[in-house]
Structure 1
């Protein structure tokens, strides 16, 4: 089968309905795409990429050695090994020191998920750990920040987009060490780390 693949950045789909408007802070976009020989093979490949995106626990393998570690956790705080669902949490282990409030991890919650014939995606927002009474996020970004992961099929093209919006460091913590860490980690992430990681993940998701 003669199929051509192009993994260069393609930002044509980052304005999807799951992506909130950019109002403050910084925005980061990453994308990659594959062009298949027929719409039928593109549909099969779309389903494959969708499956990869749903299995969050494999993201670090897909993105490569520079990636953070991701673990899907349910609302009771238990690790789960299945497809992501709305209301689930992602426990993230980034390089460097972890925050004390999140027990060494950063946490986001899947607040909205969309699953259509030619588009699948979900949006996450920084949150406290599941099954806790904390109101502020256990994350180096504040709770106005979001990340949206989408895969879209358009004809013979399958596109993955990852869109960070309104990202700012989290100052909602009484712990001075965490506050300093959040500024340092958020600055490093905004400078390069998030862009590198999300681009590696996008390219890995559409790899063959």
Structure 2
């Protein structure tokens, strides 16, 4: 299976990838109000775990200076991720990504928002190493869209490879979690989030 070609999503070049999508059909009369609700959920990063279910990762939104945020995400903000299992020592038990792009497309028949995230350093440790089990070649691309009377949430992982630019114990952890993710482990969590966001 080949990765989908999605406008704004980086091209798959090497490593693992996944495409996780969930859709919902709406009536013509309520598709816009349902999309507004989906937008609220999409932009409420701190609530993602409650939508995805108890066994999923926990996501926390931080601004570009590394302070907790309770607002619309912006380019340059960070997301702190607590995944089930052993934590990342470099990130004090957490994995971190930076929002490197946030785009919006609006047309008469379709509309979408795309958030592109890349593994990064813990914002409290700017001189440290990347605090994530994937290398900085990887991206997680989260999209919500409205087309006709259909809503969709998609999460597209690209260029997923273990992060070996880390301390010894983190290298071992990153290898096993990264390989597990490349073989479908992370797809399960992203699928839970995609389905949870769209289930009202």
**TM-score by structure 1 length?**
0.88
Structure 2: how far apart are the matches of 1:177 and 1:192? 23
Instruction: Check conservation: 2:15, 2:182, Cα contact below 8 A.
Output: no
How far apart are residue 135 of structure 1 and its match?
Answer: 6.4
Q: For 1:14-163, list aligned pairs within 5 A.
A: 14-38=4-28, 40-117=29-106, 118-134=111-127, 136-163=129-156
Q: Where do 5+ consecutive residues of structure 2 fail to align?
A: none
Structure 1: how far apart are the matches of 2:94 and 2:103? 27
Structure 1: how far apart are the matches of 2:46 and 2:164? 28
Structure 2: how far apart are the matches of 1:50 and 1:16? 19
Runs of 4+ aligned residues of structure 1 deviating over 6 Å after TM superposition are none
Q: Where do 5+ consecutive residues of structure 1 fail to align?
A: 1-12
Structure 2: how far apart are the matches of 1:134 and 1:148? 26
Structure 2: how far apart are the matches of 1:150 and 1:81? 20
How far apart are residue 188 of structure 1 and its match?
Answer: 2.1
How far apart are residue 137 of structure 1 and its match?
Answer: 1.6
1:5 corresponds to which residue?
Answer: none
Instruction: Check conservation: 1:120, 1:150, Cα contact below 8 A.
Output: yes
Structure 2: how far apart are the matches of 1:25 and 1:122? 21
**Residues 97-155 of structure 1: CA distance to partner in whole angstroms, max 9, x if unpaired?**
11111111000000000123311121000000115333642100000000000011111
**TM-score by structure 2 length?**
0.92
Q: What is the DSSP-based 3-state SS (H/G/I as helix, E as strand, rest coil) of the residue aligned with 2:30?
A: helix
CA RMSD between the two structures: 1.5
Aligned residues: 194
